Structures are given as structure tokens and as C-alpha cells.
Amino acid sequence: MYYYDWSYMLLLPAIIFTMYAQFKVQGNFKKYSNVRAMRGLTGAQAARRMLDAAGLNDVAIEQIRGSLTDHYDPRAQVLRLSQTVYGVNSVAAVSVACHEAGHAIQHAEEYTPLLMRNNIVPLVNFASQLSWPLIVFGIILGASSGIGDMLFMIGVIAFLAVILFHAITLPVEFNASSRAMAQMESLGIIMDDEKRGARKVLSAAAMTYVASLAMAIMNLIRILALRNRD
């Protein structure tokens, strides 16, 4: 007989939202990758201008493989831009590059949410691996078992650490995007007619982080629902 788990329905809104967010980020990046930046700057050049304006001349910029694999490495103090951003002259490329440059500036200024996120990364990595096995064993053993109840609660607490990480990520990403927009305008990296496209690229990217938080929260709700059912 087939077993239908109704609790998966709790995840459906978050799954749809995640799919929509991915569709938007891919669609907007593709669309504005075909729109040439009027200033003629590539992603790497735009990021370099933004970093230098902030006095971060020592932050290197490197090209890496892939698409939308862009990130700032705070330990090496290196901005790594993907092949679709580094040497590309487009509104999408300069927007993504300047967003990552925003993270480098956050790091240099010791932006509190960024420091909090970086400090809890080891804990979150450990908690994410620990939470599901503990939750599953807790559910299998049942609420009537003292050990089962303890394992379940420890698993939930570990899962809350993962949700906290996603929650802290939101202000970090939104702030990096707002820094990028402000600097692209003030440094003349983009023209007035390009602002709308840049905002759409950055807003779509930010939406994926909101979707990740929503998915984590709905997973927790599903976990608690499964426990209460037993």
C-alpha cells in the first residue's frame, strides 16, 4: 500500500516560492546579461572601482568557473567572480560584482550581522548535520520514551541554529545590495536608465535568501507537526 504523508503539503508553499525565486534570479540575470552597461565597465572593473573607492586596494579580484558562483572570501580577502561576471560588460555583471564588493566592504567595516554570520558558520555546519538524525531517531522512539523526547528536542534546537543562520543572512545580503546600488550610482558605474535593471537583478537574488529562510521555517513546522501526530 502507498503511504501518503500529509505533512509534505506544509512545504508546498515554500517549495513554490523557492522555485519562483530561482526562476526570477535566472531570468533577470539572463535578461540583463544581454544589456550592455553604457559605461563600458566589466564586472571586475566595476568591483575594482567600488573597492578602491572604499580604500580596499589590497582586496584582489579573481575569476572562477561557473555562473552565479560569485562570492567574497573574507579569510583570503579575495573577491571571486564567475565567468559570466568577471570579464563581461553588462548590467547584470556589474550589479552582481558590486554586490560582492559590498560584502568586502562589510567585512572591512566589521558589519555586525556579517560578523555574527561568519562566527556561527562552524556551529551551523555541525548543527545541520546533527539535527535531522536526532529528529528522526526522536520520532521513531516516540514521545513516550524519555530518550526519544530528549533526542527530538536537541535536534529541534540544532535546527533552530540553521534557521538563525538564514535569518542573519537576510540583512547581510540586503545591505550588500543597497551598498552596491548606492556606489554604482555615486561612482558613475551605471547610468540612470540602467538603475531599474540593476535593482531587478539584485532584488531577484535577495529573494532566494528569503526563500531559503521560508523553507527552513516550514521544515521546522512540519517537524513539529509530525511529532504532535505521534
100 a catalytic residue: yes
Write down the mean pLDDT value for the chain: 92
Q: Which of the residues 100, 173, 185, 194 is marked catalytic?
A: 100
**Three-state SS annotation for the chain:** CCCCCHHHHHHHHHHHHHHHHHHHHHHHHHHHHCCCCCCCCCHHHHHHHHHHHCCCCCCEEEEECCCCCCEEECCCCEEEEECCCCCCCCHHHHHHHHHHHHHHHHHHCCCHHHHHHHHHHHHHHHHHHHHHHHHHHHHHHCCCCHHHHHHHHHHHHHHHHHHHHHHHHHHHHHHHHHHHHHHHHHCCCCCHHHHHHHHHHHHHHHHHHHHHHHHHHHHHHHHHHHHHHC
CA distance 9 to 134: 23
**In the structure, what pLDDT confidence band is assigned to residue 10 with cuts at 50, 70 and 90?**
confident
Q: What would the pLDDT profile of 42-92 be if each residue is shown by its tens digit?
A: 999 999 999 999 999 999 999 999 999 999 999 999 999 999 999 999 999
Q: What would the pLDDT profile of 111-151 be if each residue is shown by its tens digit?
A: 999 999 999 999 999 999 999 999 888 888 876 668 888 99
> Which pTM value belongs to this model?
0.89
**In the structure, what pLDDT confidence band is assigned to residue 1 with cuts at 50, 70 and 90?**
very low
Per-residue model confidence (pLDDT) at position 227: 75
CA distance 87 to 189: 15
CA distance 210 to 55: 31
